[in-house]
């Protein structure tokens, strides 16, 4: 596991990270999100100790890496593998040579290097591209090679710094599937720095929102979506713009339990003794449970207290909105600005 406690980073009089506390359990994937300038890139460089924090600690499997120096620090840094946004492969080296680079840097015997490179290229599905140079590979293939290189020294923590940024949706999904497989098969703990909410929903167990150098909200992804109507919650599961609701009272709904019946629409309609118009919605699975946001239209003559109680009985939080205000005016995007 990795535990970050009281982590701060200053550049002169500018405080970029301010007392970050974050724990990620073994074989868990944690996503760190936030707007441009929130400190995500600085946090990534500090976690892998490319930059030393001004204060605080980074503990991996019970050992505080920030307390180490020299040879002991270099050895301990093997616990953290990193995958960067642009793969950062050396263009003059083949895929196999890029994966072998950290192994050779640490003077691993050549026979072991060959075995490890073969194993890792096979693991990421690119053994058949071992002799290809980066320019001969697609963006997704380069990232797979970068992931293999990040795992070369057998780290217990893998840091992904915007690793899917700029990739097309299909390639992004394949990279996320690979990360999940590696997490499950190798029991690697992962910290994913991203601005893409689709990535968070697709791969993360827990999420932390960074803003102005501080973590302002955190928790399991499904729990964050269900427990509030915060900006992070709305960004994680945005509500599509509702269709025409002429003559109806528009209500905004949120799943607030993990056990909402798939038949709630019909059951709630019977309880309200009227039809329910489904105007828009997004329902999907996150971390093994269902989350959802919807807009519905109801007869405006219904008592609001009765509507809330009826929907609450089905595991739904409901609030009326005016058609003039519209859900679209204040809905967040599925993506934040790129860092």
pLDDT in tens, 126-169: 999 999 999 999 999 999 999 999 999 999 999 998 888 888 88
Q: How far apart are CA 170 and CA 123, in angstroms?
A: 19
Structure-token match 């909200």, residue found: 217
Q: 8: buried, middle or exposed (CB in 10 Å: 19+, 13-18, 0-12)? A: middle
Do the domains at 2-220 and 237-330 have one common CATH topology?
Answer: no
- What is the mean predicted confidence (pLDDT) over 329-334? 37
- The structural domains of the chain, with segments of one domain joined by +, span 2-220, 237-330
Region 2-220: CATH code:
3.40.50.300
- Which residues are 15's β-sheet partners? 10
What is the CATH architecture assignment of 237-330? 2-Layer Sandwich (3.30)
Q: What is the pLDDT of residue 322?
A: 65
Q: What is the mean pLDDT of the chain?
A: 88
What Å distances lie between residue 277 and 13, 42, 161, 205, 292, CA to CA?
56, 47, 42, 33, 16
76-99 average pLDDT score: 89
Q: Per-residue b/e over 158-172, b at no fewer than 16 CB within 10 Å?
A: bbbbbbbbebeeebb
Give the span between the Cα atoms of 272 and 245, in whole angstroms: 18
pTM to 2 decimal places: 0.82
Residues 6+ apart with CB under 8 A from 281: 239, 240, 292, 293, 294, 295
The rounded distance, in Å, linking the Cα atoms of 188 and 156 is 5
Q: What is the DSSP letter of 242?
A: P
Residue 250's pLDDT is 92
C-beta atoms surrounding 214 within 10 Å? 16
Q: Which two tokens stand for residue 296?
A: 């519905």
- Per-residue pLDDT for 31 more than 70? yes
Beta-strand pair 29-33/206-211? parallel
Using pLDDT thresholds of 50, 70 and 90, give the confidence band for residue 259: confident
Tens-place pLDDT, residues 276-297: 999 998 888 877 788 899 999 9
- Among 51-60, 202-211, 240-249, whose mean pLDDT is lowest? 240-249
pLDDT at 24: 94
Model pLDDT, residue 95: 96
Is residue 77 over pLDDT 90? Answer: no
Distance CA 25, CA 95 (A): 31
Work out the percent of the chain whose per-residue pLDDT is above 70. 94
């Amino acid at each position: 596991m990795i535990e970050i406690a009281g982590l701060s980073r200053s550049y002169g009089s500018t405080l970029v990270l301010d007392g970050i506390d974050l724990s990620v359990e073994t074989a868990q994937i944690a996503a760190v999100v936030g707007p441009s300038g929130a400190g995500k890139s600085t946090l990534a460089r500090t976690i892998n100790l490319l930059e030393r924090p001004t204060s605080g600690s980074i503990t991996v499997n019970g050992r505080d890496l920030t307390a180490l120096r020299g040879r002991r620090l270099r050895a301990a840094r093997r616990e953290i593998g990193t995958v960067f946004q642009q793969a950062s492969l050396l263009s003059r080296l083949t895929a196999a040579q890029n994966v072998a680079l950290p192994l050779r840097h640490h003077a691993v015997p050549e026979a072991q290097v060959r075995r490890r490179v073969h194993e890792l290229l096979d693991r990421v599905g690119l053994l058949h591209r071992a002799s290809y140079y980066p320019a001969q590979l697609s963006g997704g293939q380069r990232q797979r090679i970068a992931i293999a290189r990040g795992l070369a020294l057998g780290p217990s923590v893998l840091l992904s710094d915007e690793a899917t940024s700029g990739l097309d949706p299909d390639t992004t999904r394949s990279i996320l599937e690979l990360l999940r497989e590696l997490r499950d098969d190798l029991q690697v703990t992962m910290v994913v720095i991203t601005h893409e909410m689709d990535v968070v929903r697709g791969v993360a167990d827990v999420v932390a929102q960074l803003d102005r150098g501080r973590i302002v909200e955190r928790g399991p992804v499904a729990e964050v979506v269900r427990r509030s109507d915060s900006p992070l919650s709305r960004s994680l599961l945005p509500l599509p713009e509702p269709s025409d609701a002429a003559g109806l009272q528009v209500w905004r709904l949120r799943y607030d339990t993990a056990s909402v019946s798939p038949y709630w629409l019909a059951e709630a309609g019977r309880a309200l003794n009227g039809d329910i118009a489904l105007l828009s919605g997004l329902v999907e699975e996150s971390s093994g449970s269902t989350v959802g946001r919807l807009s519905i239209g109801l007869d405006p003559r219904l008592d609001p207290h009765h509507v809330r109680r009826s929907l609450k009985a089905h595991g739904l939080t409901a609030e009326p909105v005016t058609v003039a205000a519209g859900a679209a005016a204040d809905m967040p995007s599925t993506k934040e600005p790129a860092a």
